[in-house]
Amino acid sequence: MKGLMQDWPLLVHTVIDHAAQYHGDREIVTRSVEGPIRRTTYKAVHSRARKIANALQSLGLGKGDVIATMAWNTDRHLEAWYGIMGLGAVCHTLNPRLFAEQLVYIANHAEDKVIFVDLTFVPIIEGIADQLSHLKHVIIMCDEAAMPDTKLKNALCYETLVNAHSDDFKWAKVDENDACGLCYTSGTTGNPKGVLYSHRSNVLHALAANNADALGMRSIDNVLPVVPMFHANAWAIAFAAPAVGASLIMPGAKMDGESIYELLDTEKVSVTAAVPTVWLMLLQHLQSSGKKLPHLNRVVIGGSAAPRFMVEAFEKDFGVQVFHAWGMTELSPLGTLGSLKAGMENLPIDKQIDIKIKQGRPVYTVEMKITDDDGKELARDGKAFGHLMVRGPAISREYVKGEGGDILDADGWFDTGDVATIDPDGYMTITDRAKDVIKSGGEWISSIELENVAVGHPEVQEAAVIGIAHPKWDERPLLIVIPAQGKSPTREDILSYMEGKIAKWWMPDDVVFVDEIPHTATGKIQKLALRQTFKDYELPTANLEKGAAE
Amino acid sequence: MKGLMQDWPLLVHTVIDHAAQYHGDREIVTRSVEGPIRRTTYKAVHSRARKIANALQSLGLGKGDVIATMAWNTDRHLEAWYGIMGLGAVCHTLNPRLFAEQLVYIANHAEDKVIFVDLTFVPIIEGIADQLSHLKHVIIMCDEAAMPDTKLKNALCYETLVNAHSDDFKWAKVDENDACGLCYTSGTTGNPKGVLYSHRSNVLHALAANNADALGMRSIDNVLPVVPMFHANAWAIAFAAPAVGASLIMPGAKMDGESIYELLDTEKVSVTAAVPTVWLMLLQHLQSSGKKLPHLNRVVIGGSAAPRFMVEAFEKDFGVQVFHAWGMTELSPLGTLGSLKAGMENLPIDKQIDIKIKQGRPVYTVEMKITDDDGKELARDGKAFGHLMVRGPAISREYVKGEGGDILDADGWFDTGDVATIDPDGYMTITDRAKDVIKSGGEWISSIELENVAVGHPEVQEAAVIGIAHPKWDERPLLIVIPAQGKSPTREDILSYMEGKIAKWWMPDDVVFVDEIPHTATGKIQKLALRQTFKDYELPTANLEKGAAE
């Protein structure tokens, strides 16, 4: 027996309809790429999004076409998102931080027909346009006055194009399961893989994100998403904020401490979200300038683990609540968020921070568990660590064009590739990437935990840990260290520093000193490259074992 | 092109799964029907719900069967809801306040096979059981010690039944559009009509209700739903609270001021929801006892218009935020909620209360407009009033068995039967029921506004206004008054009191005094009966017109 409720599909353009109707005057404030602050409203964004849909239609584009953006967080980027998605097309966010060859691969794989591009990134597109086999138009997101002298064929001026069209456009009739957004994961191995969001997944993700224990945005909030719209769906904010009528403060191209501080202050931002690097710059700016954060209520930190001192600085020095979040492109991206549970608000602040530095707990609509190599679920005791598996309506079931093959197990769980613990309260802590974990005698050692301990040594600038083949234990950890400027710590200095801070059997079997550790375009340590470099490395303990066996 | 996200259907039992997994120890505290306070947890509710599903299956029930409850808000009622819905069956909440013949009609129309019944209501079921043609079992919600001496055939003891089964039950595999809940509207005309909720509509409604500007519940909240689970889906609370892990405080059969106060106080309730009558009793108790509400943060008022003094008392005397809500069974039931928007928090308190006594604004997923008799949309200026039309994923598209025919217009809008204004900020105010509005010379007069003004007269106990046929104006208002105890106001007293408080042309053409005004089982004025009583009433102004015409 079916229910008798309305067939009201979950479509992202209903979000901007709602914002325009009930929060039409709420502002979107942008630090424009050209420089000055620009102010618009949801009503205007709604109108201009429909003009963009008309403009794209006039260029011969429509339902199912893939239209890319390479742009900062701005009002125009927001308009473009809703215009593209409201046309029934797919908005593909290109990450300008990727290498040119990756961008070419991705844009061709996605079959991007149009690219909306910010002034900043015109040179990138100029460099690769000839290799983009599906590209028909490049729309430069500025007005005529700011149009660059470009060698791009088919370059159009955004403002001229938008203003040449009427806002009389009826959003496309689409199914809620139709695709509307596309974002490639940069993956450390293999080709980048496309995550294809549906209208339904984005709407459900925004509804879940808006619950009061998650992002919990309200119409009275002024929200500054530093997290870029070209990265992992902007953590839901471009959908979740208009759904409740929160004002959006868009940082454009400037994410240094002073620029972010200026917006937090002048626009009375109450909620903001970014990766730790951004908050490090902000805290340094606050420290050197002696400024405070009287308006800011909540800061969401994700992308990588927030160091404890950062959480402490926000909570203790500035009275700002910190929420650690964890997610990934394949999760739309929010998986967990670290709001406190009943009773925890009465804990001493340091105990609260013990919880707040964990990656958080899943909100309803995300299912989560940890398993061993055989797929057996492990205890939620905060100690056992295993493969982090997730299910939910805003989680990938496969990549574009089947890249990477089957990615769900028989019960529909997606393997995040992370290794984590879950504590009895449901708070999850990432302990490693599955492929980086060191398997020693059937037990797992977290490379990340070893790195975190090692970098605590005052003479260590950066540390990386990889597993090296071992005749007895399968793998044992090798610690790779860049010494701090002008320092020359010894192997023994570092290992004795680590003693007592980790289990004895976790102690690295050797330490090597290097000048450089390779990183990906998005700043992660390239462990694959390190494993390649050290593939023939022989651990002293391996020799001992061999010696003993001989 | 379809998105590539997981097919994770929206099913209500995933809500209780989440609550048990991440908020397993959060309490459900019940004032039991037997008397004592009973405490359980989401983990236990989750286990017992699965035992109930097993028990029902052992009785031969399964997917698509309709299983009724006639029960107060208790832990057992919550368990029964999830057990029934998790079996893939439909949970039909019977309203014990209905007349016996209505209950018989409804239970037979719905084809109820089982009724879970609280001790309080056993006599009601005893009185009608013989007339219930589909009924197989009555499950009395108590333990063996409390089992009444009943003449019911097939009466089972709830605790014995539940405890005889294991909690090893896999929730039914159902489609998200399958029915899971059923509630009949009592309607003042025609037969009661069944509203059939789906898993999807209940989950989406709960997600929308949990946004921070709607009910905004959090895991740290202790939530007391006074609004009964047998009335309009309990305002989403039975789904929305477990979805965030909020504790539930269940009032059982006692809704008097002292009993509610006791729970608010001892259980440190932070959020509560009920109709104005309940809050009137609570405020009277607070006034007479001199008690305060130190723990309570938010009170949600709906079901009928909250009088201004009530909102003022909570906000000014007790420091509790009031949120007016409006909804109806067909809306699952939440349509609007009156949280303030940006800037309003700085208004003087009396201006804020001007907004708070309105019925609120729609949250995302509810579309709303007002139209004239020709379906033309009217201005959102806070003055024009018209038919209140709604669309959304948790709004009815038809009633059970097609009762009432087509209820959506060509564009999918449901006519609420209410007449309302919408102000420029989106706040809606109900001005009348469409069938009660008085159509005078092509313009509308709100019967409710006239009643509200008339009852302000100190010598008026209750007032009702109906339209009386008029030769020139089609209809003109007749004011029907019950004088206050021992008072005898005159027609002129009352009309002169009303002067200046309403538009001149709204002034009732006559006043009649009566001893009684008929009410429905749920306390609404039966205007149909009044119109019947006064169908031959001749207005003095009609005579004048006739005289003038002759």
- Inform me whether the pLDDT recorded for A203 exceeds 70: yes
Amino acid present at A285 = H
Distance from CA of B460 to the nearest CA of A (A): 39
Closest approach of B350 to chain A, Cα-based (Å): 19
Could you tell me which of B541, B526, B442 has the C-alpha nearest to residue B480? B526
pLDDT digits (tens, 9 = 90+) for A254-264: 999 999 999 99
Question: With an 8 Å Cβ cutoff, are A364 and B426 in contact?
Answer: no
Other beta carbons less than 10 A from residue A103's beta carbon = 26
Q: Tens digit of pLDDT for each residue in B147-193?
A: 999 999 889 999 999 999 999 999 999 999 999 999 999 765 678 99
Tokens of A270: 């109450």
What is the enclosing helix (H) or strand (E) of A440? Answer: strand A438-440
Look at residue B189 in the predicted model and tell me its pLDDT.
65
DSSP string, B82-106: HHHHHTT-EEEE--TTS-HHHHHHH
pLDDT in tens, A337-354: 999 999 999 999 999 999
Strand partners, A300: A273, A323
Tokens of A381: 């005791």
Residues within 8 A of A (CB atoms), B 452-511 only: none
The closest of B134, B129, B152, B158 to B66, measured between CA atoms, is B134
Run of H or E residues at B453: helix B447-454
Q: How far is it, in rounded angstroms, from Cα B91 to Cα B68?
A: 6
Nearest CB to B5: which of A4, A197, A213? A197
Q: What is the pLDDT of residues B30-65, one digit of tens each?
A: 999 999 999 999 999 999 999 999 999 999 999 999
Say whether pLDDT at B546 is over 60.
Answer: no
Type of residue found at B475 = E
* Mutation for testing the A interface, residue in B2, B4, B377 having most A CBs under 10 Å: B4
Nearest to A6 among B8, B210, B392 (CB): B392
With an 8 Å Cβ cutoff, are B212 and A211 in contact?
yes
* A12 three-state secondary structure: helix
What is the 8-class DSSP label of residue B299? Answer: E
Of B6, B208, B211, the CB nearest to A393: B6
Q: Answer whether B114's CB lies under 8 Å from B139's CB.
A: yes
Measured between beta carbons, the chain B residues lying within 8 angstroms of A219 are: 213, 339-342
SS3 (DSSP) at B252: strand
C-alpha distance from B370 to closest chain A C-alpha (Å): 13
**Whether B198 and A26 lie within 8 Å, measured CB to CB:** no
Instruction: Give the C-alpha separation, B275 to B113, whole Å.
Output: 31
Using DSSP bridges, classify how beta strands B271-274 and B37-41 pair: parallel, antiparallel or unpaired. Answer: unpaired
Q: Is residue A467's pLDDT more than 70?
A: yes
Task: Please compute Rg for chain B using Cα positions.
Answer: 24
A212: contact with B, CB 8 A cutoff: yes
Is the pLDDT at B489 greater than 70? The verdict is yes
**CA angle (B34, B36, B39) in 5-degree steps:** 110
What's residue B549's pLDDT? 43
CA distance readout (Å), B533 to B310, B481, B524, B528: 34, 14, 17, 9
Q: Do B395 and A5 touch (CB under 8 A)?
A: yes
Amino acid at A385: F
Query: Per-residue pLDDT tens for A410-463?
Result: 999 999 999 999 999 999 999 998 899 999 988 889 998 899 899 989 999 999
Strands A386-391 and B386-391, sheet pairing: unpaired
- Chain B: residue whose CA lies nearest to A338: B219
Q: Which residue do the tokens 């539930």 mark?
A: B248
Tokens of B236: 């989403």
Angle at which helix B257-266 crosses helix B276-289, to 10 degrees, equals 80
Q: Is the pLDDT of residue B472 over 70?
A: yes
Q: Is the pLDDT assigned to residue A201 strictly greater than 60?
A: yes
Separation in Å, CA of A329 to nearest CA in chain B: 12
Q: Which residues of A touch B370 (CB under 8 A)?
A: none
Mean pLDDT for A402-409 is: 93
Is A6 close to B220, i.e. CB distance below 8 A? no
A189 confidence band (pLDDT: 50, 70, 90): low
Contact status, residue B316 vs residue B293, Cβ threshold 8 Å: no
pLDDT at position B256 is 96
Chain B residues with beta carbon closer than 8 angstroms to that of A414:
6
CB contact (8 A) between residue B393 and residue A5: yes
Inspect the interface and report whether the beta carbons of A219 and B341 lie closer than 8 Å: yes
pTM, two decimals, is: 0.93
> Does residue A188 register a pLDDT over 70?
no
How far apart are alpha carbons B347 and B341 in whole angstroms? 11
Cβ of A391 and B207 within 8 Å?
A: no
Note whether B393 contacts A341, CB cutoff 8 Å: no
Report the alpha-carbon distance of residue B111 to residue B92 in Å, rounded.
Answer: 10
Q: Name residues 346-365 of chain B within 8 A of A (Cβ).
A: 361-365
Residue A434, class by beta-carbon neighbours within 10 Å (0-12 exposed, 13-18 middle, 19+ buried)? Answer: middle
Give pLDDT, residue B544.
Answer: 66
- Helix B447-454 to helix B491-498 angle (10° resolution) is 110
CB–CB contact A178 B8 (8 Å): no
> A111 is written with which tokens?
């079959």
pLDDT at A305: 87
Contacts of B196 in chain A (CB under 8 A): 1, 3-5
pLDDT band at A267 (very low <50, low <70, confident <90, very high): very high
Instruction: Give residue A234's pLDDT band: very low, low, confident or very high (50, 70, 90).
Output: confident
Output the average pLDDT for chain A: 94
* The pLDDT of residue A300 is above 60: yes
pLDDT value for A544: 67
Of B88-102, B169-183, B442-456, B467-481, least confident by mean pLDDT is B442-456
Residue owning tokens 């079997």: A509
Angle between helices B42-58 and B12-22 (to 10 degrees): 140
Rounded to a whole number of angstroms, the distance from the CA of B421 to the nearest CA of chain A is 14
CA pair distance A45, A77, nearest whole angstrom? 10
Share of chain B above pLDDT 70, in %: 98
B211 and A244: CB-CB below 8 Å? yes
Q: Once rounded to an integer, what is the mean pLDDT over residues A276-296?
A: 95
Mode of pairing for the β-strands spanning B474-483 and B460-470: antiparallel
Give catalytic residues of A, as residue numbers.
Answer: 185, 330, 439, 444
CB contact under 8 A, B341 and A23: yes
- pLDDT at position A301 is 96
For residue B344, what is the nearest residue in chain A, using CA coordinates? A220
Q: Is the pLDDT of residue B547 over 60?
A: no
A163 touches B at CB < 8 Å: no
Pick the residue from chain A with its C-alpha nearest to B195: A4
**Using a CB-CB distance cutoff of 8 angstroms, which residues of chain B are in contact with residue A208?**
207
> At residue A319, does pLDDT exceed 90?
yes
Q: Which of residues 387-446 of B touch A (CB under 8 A)?
A: 391-400, 408, 412, 414, 425-426
Cα–Cα distances in angstroms (integers) from residue B446 to residues B452, B473, B479, B503, B505, in the given order: 10, 15, 12, 11, 12
Model ipTM value: 0.93
Task: Give the mean pLDDT of A154-172.
Answer: 97
Range in A113-122, B500-509, B520-529 the model is least confident about: B520-529
Nearest C-alpha in A relative to B175: A2
The phi, psi pair for B206, rounded to 5°, reads -65, -40
Q: Residue A299: beta bridge partners? A: A272, A322
Residue of B nearest to A403 (CA): B4
Q: How far apart are CA B450 and CA B465, in angstroms?
A: 7
Q: How far apart are CA B302 and CA A361, in angstroms?
A: 33
pLDDT, tens digit, 9 for 90 and up, residues A66-112: 999 999 999 999 999 999 999 999 999 999 999 899 999 999 999 99
The burial class, CB within 10 Å (0-12 / 13-18 / 19+), for B354 is middle
Residue B145 to chain A, least CA–CA distance (Å): 35
Which class for A205: exposed (0-12), middle (13-18), buried (19 or more C-beta within 10 A)? Answer: buried
pLDDT in tens, B394-423: 999 999 999 989 999 999 999 999 999 999
Q: Using CA coordinates, name the residue in chain B closest to A178.
A: B2
Cβ distance A243 to B200 less than 8 Å, yes or no, reads no
Which of B179, B210, B247 comes nearest A2 by C-beta?
Answer: B179
Share of residues in chain A with pLDDT > 70 (%)? 98
Interval B218-269: pLDDT, tens = 999 999 999 999 987 889 999 999 999 999 999 999 999 999 999 999 999 9
19-38 in B: which are within 8 Å (CB) of A?
A: 21-23, 26
Chain B environment of A212 (Cβ under 8 Å) = 210-212, 216-218, 244
pLDDT digits (tens, 9 = 90+) for B296-335: 999 999 988 898 999 999 999 999 999 999 999 999 999 9
Which of B2, B7, B8, B171 has the most A C-beta neighbours within 10 Å, making it the best mutation to test the interface with A? B8
Mean pLDDT, chain B, as a whole number? Answer: 94
